[in-house]
């Protein structure tokens, strides 16, 4: 399988660090608001990559961080009076529910910055000890000139970085391109550190947390949207390699933007569409197929009409699965030409995916395959055996794309939370801790849940 590596700027054969394993780190959300369609673009693309690796038999370890310590969250917290961690937890839980609905396979770990301050401090200390960072009165900064590989991912020289630097750079820094590992001072949420009260800079979390969950071994792939190449990923490489010496990630995978009239969809530009709103209008598979019809590295321009059309196309695929399932599994008339055509389209499908996950090309072969099946079904004596085999293959192909007809329940995370509360209340009651059990009942009532104690134990349902 060939994949485009942003580090070498070339298509490369994917060779994992360890046979049969793929350790993937994907930069996660900064949950200060609802997830938008641009987020879905990137996470669906990464899910498709992950599914293809799983299909190929790789054991995938997927780590995806939660940036819960960040200026935008702090700002929102000041505006709303809600604590930053409560705010980010709420939006992240909501986003995970939507991702589940989109049939995105959850990550193995979702590390949050606020829960990894000791690991972050340890890595900053290692970087300082290795002579790649220095302390000033405002913070601890990475010394980009001390790290010869700085710029290798984004292909920029330090002078070029500085040319783009803002005027209000911190004057305590040795070089405007140096970036903060630790920011000193009071803020909405701060932590103790060897450099005094403060909080981590933005980039250090991903280097520190990915290393924690891989035990410091080189990642096979690191991914995220194209906007993250510089400075975020460039800085991640510098930090991790300065602290640890080894290569941080073998492959770097970047997705193209979801755009609106050619401009990136983002919260700050105000041109965003909330994912939840879109999912109320279109089935999740429509959105998945809409994105997969463009290559993962290409930009995709938002279009309601195209999403609707993608939904119709997906239904044609489901329709094939349904109709073919009603046919006999064996017998019929073996049709050599038809069988050859199926084989050809199948091969073309997988070679498209092996060529840097060329989903648009693969999709065209998938449709050609089912068209051939539909027309064979029209024959007086269809080749049932072959149609059945093709059906099995199409099911696998749809799994790789994450396309499925049935919708998942949106509320699964909320329901898990409710189940946990109900269980805790049962335990409290058994322990005769009636204060706690009453508290839980009140919490559930506030969540709109009615709890009934039946002979078979407690049961809950939504009010009204």
In the complex, least distance from residue 366 CB atom to ligand AMP, rounded to whole angstroms: 24
Q: How far is the CB of 39 from ligand AMP (least distance, A)?
A: 5
Q: How far is the CB of 15 from ligand AMP (least distance, A)?
A: 25
Is residue 221 a contact residue for Zn ion (CB under 5 A)?
no
* CA 48 – CA 360 distance, rounded (Å): 13
Closer to Zn ion at the Cβ: 205 or 335?
205
Window 201-220: residues binding Zn ion (CB under 5 A): 206
Task: Give which of 291, 206, 212, 202 is closest to 252, Cα–Cα.
Answer: 206
As given in the structure block, the two tokens for residue 412 are 């699964």
Residues 255-294 that bind ligand AMP (CB under 6 A): 255, 257-258, 264-266
Is the dihedral angle over the CA atoms 167, 173, 174, 179 positive or is it negative? Answer: negative
Instruction: Tokens 């604590």: give the residue.
Output: 83
Judge whether 60 and 54 are in contact, CB under 8 Å: yes
Q: Which is nearer to Zn ion, 6 or 324 (CB)?
A: 6
Q: Can you name the residues that pair with 420 across neighbouring β-strands?
A: none
- Interatomic CA distance for residues 306 and 291, integer angstroms: 10
- The residue (of 224 and 284) whose beta carbon lies closer to ligand AMP is 224
- Residue 228 binding ligand AMP, by CB under 6 A: yes
CB 291 to ligand AMP: min, Å: 10
Residue window 29-68: x/- pattern of binding to ligand AMP, with contact defined by CB under 6 A: xx-------xx-xx--------------------------
Residue 253 lies near ligand AMP (rule: CB under 6 A):
no
Q: Which stretch binds Zn ion (CB under 5 A): 19-27, 42-50, 159-167, 394-402?
A: 19-27
Shortest approach of ligand AMP to residue 97 CB, angstroms? 16
Read off the tokens for 242.
């300065």
Name which position in 227, 301, 308, 343 contacts ligand AMP (CB under 6 A): 227
Nearer to Zn ion, 5 or 239 (CB): 239
From CA 275, how far away is CA 279, in angstroms rounded? 6
Residues of this chain, 174-213, that bind ligand AMP according to CB under 6 A: none
Q: How is residue 229 annotated by DSSP?
A: I
27 binds Zn ion (CB under 5 A): yes
Of 239 and 294, the one with the shorter C-beta distance to ligand AMP is 294
Task: Quickly tell me which residue has 């699964």 as its tokens.
Answer: 412
Tokens encoding 425: 């209340």
Distance CA 214, CA 205 (A): 14
Our finding on whether 27 is near ligand AMP (CB under 6 A) is yes
Task: Check residue 227 and report its DSSP letter.
Answer: G
Largest CA distance in the chain: 84
What are the φ/ψ torsions at residue 238 (nearest 5 degrees)?
Answer: -60, -45
Q: What is the C-alpha separation between 167 and 458, in angstroms, rounded?
A: 62
Residue nearest to ligand AMP (CB): 225
> Which range binds Zn ion by CB under 5 A, 20-28, 114-122, 265-273, 385-393?
20-28
Residue whose CB is less far from ligand AMP, 49 or 444: 49
Q: How many residues does the chain have?
A: 464
Q: CB of 127 within 8 A of CB of 239?
A: yes
| Binding-site partner at residue 275 among Zn ion, ligand AMP, none, CB < 5 to 8 Å by type | none
Of 27 and 133, CB closest to ligand AMP: 27
The DSSP code sequence of 295-335 is -TTS-EE--HHHHHHHHHHHHHHHHHHHHHHTS-SS-S---
370 contacts Zn ion (rule: CB under 5 A): no
Contact status: 301 vs ligand AMP (CB under 6 A): no
Report the partner that residue 264 touches, choosing among Zn ion, ligand AMP, none (CB closer than 5 to 8 A by kind): ligand AMP
Cα–Cα nearest to 252, from 430, 4, 84? 4
Residue ranges in 326-462 assigned as alpha helix (H): 336-354, 359-377, 384-401, 412-430, 434-446
CB nearer ligand AMP, residue 41 or residue 132: 41
Indicate the DSSP class of residue 190.
-
The least CB distance from residue 439 to ligand AMP, in Å, is 34
**Distance, first Cα to last Cα, the chain:** 52
Interacting span for ligand AMP (CB under 6 A) from 132-140, 250-258, 319-327, 367-375: 250-258
Residue 38, contacted partner among ligand AMP, Zn ion, none, CB below 5-8 A by kind: ligand AMP
Please choose which of ligand AMP, Zn ion, none residue 206 contacts, taking the beta carbon within 5 to 8 angstroms, the exact cut-off set by kind: Zn ion
- Closest to Zn ion by CB, 65 vs 193, is 65
d(CA 373, CA 366): 11
User: Where does this chain bind ligand AMP (CB under 6 A)?
Assistant: 27, 29-30, 38-39, 41-42, 224-225, 227-228, 255, 257-258, 264-266
User: Where does this chain bind Zn ion (CB under 5 A)?
Assistant: 27, 206
């Amino acid at each position: 399988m060939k994949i485009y590596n942003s580090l070498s700027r070339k298509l490369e054969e994917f060779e994992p660090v360890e046979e049969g394993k793929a350790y993937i780190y994907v930069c996660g959300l900064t949950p200060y608001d609802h997830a938008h369609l641009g987020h879905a673009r990137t996470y669906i693309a990464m899910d498709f990559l992950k599914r293809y690796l799983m299909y190929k038999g790789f054991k995938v370890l997927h780590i995806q961080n939660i940036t819960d310590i960040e200026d935008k969250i702090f700002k929102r917290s000041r505006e709303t009076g809600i604590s930053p961690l409560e705010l980010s937890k709420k939006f992240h839980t909501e986003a995970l529910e939507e991702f589940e609905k989109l049939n995105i396979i959850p990550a193995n770990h979702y590390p949050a910055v606020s829960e990894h301050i000791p690991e972050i401090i340890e890595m900053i200390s290692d970087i300082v000890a290795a002579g790649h960072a220095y302390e000033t009165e405002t913070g601890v900064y990475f010394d980009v000139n001390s790290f010869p590989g700085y710029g290798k991912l984004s292909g920029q020289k330090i002078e070029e970085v500085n040319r783009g630097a803002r005027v209000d750079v911190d004057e305590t820094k040795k070089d405007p391109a140096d970036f903060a590992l630790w920011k000193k001072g009071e803020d909405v949420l701060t932590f103790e550190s060897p450099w005094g009260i403060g909080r981590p800079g933005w980039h250090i979390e991903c280097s520190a947390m990915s290393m924690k969950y891989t035990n410091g071994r080189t990642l096979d792939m690191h991914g995220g949207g194209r906007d993250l190449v510089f400075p975020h990923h460039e800085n991640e490489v510098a930090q991790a390699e300065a602290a640890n010496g080894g290569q941080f990630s073998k492959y770097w995978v970047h997705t193209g933007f979801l755009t609106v009239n050619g401009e990136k969809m983002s919260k700050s530009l105000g041109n965003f569409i909330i994912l939840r709103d879109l999912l109320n209008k279109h089935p999740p598979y429509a959105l998945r197929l809409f994105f997969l019809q463009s290559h993962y590295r290409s930009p995709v321009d938002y279009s309601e009409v195209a999403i609707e059309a993608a939904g119709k196309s997906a239904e044609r695929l489901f329709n094939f699965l349904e109709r073919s399932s009603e046919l006999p599994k064996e017998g019929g008339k073996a049709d050599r030409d038809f069988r050859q055509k199926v084989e050809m389209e199948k091969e073309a499908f997988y070679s498209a995916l092996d060529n840097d996950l060329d989903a648009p090309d693969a999709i065209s072969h998938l449709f050609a395959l089912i068209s051939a099946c539909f027309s064979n079904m029209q024959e007086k004596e269809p080749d049932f055996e072959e149609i059945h085999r093709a059906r099995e293959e199409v099911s696998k192909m749809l799994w790789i794309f994450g396309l499925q007809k049935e919708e998942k329940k949106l509320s699964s995370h909320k329901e898990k939370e409710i189940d946990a509360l109900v269980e805790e209340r049962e335990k409290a009651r058994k322990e005769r801790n009636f204060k706690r059990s009453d508290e839980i009942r009140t919490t559930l009532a506030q969540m709109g849940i009615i709890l009934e104690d039946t002979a078979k134990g407690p049961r809950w349902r939504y009010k009204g």
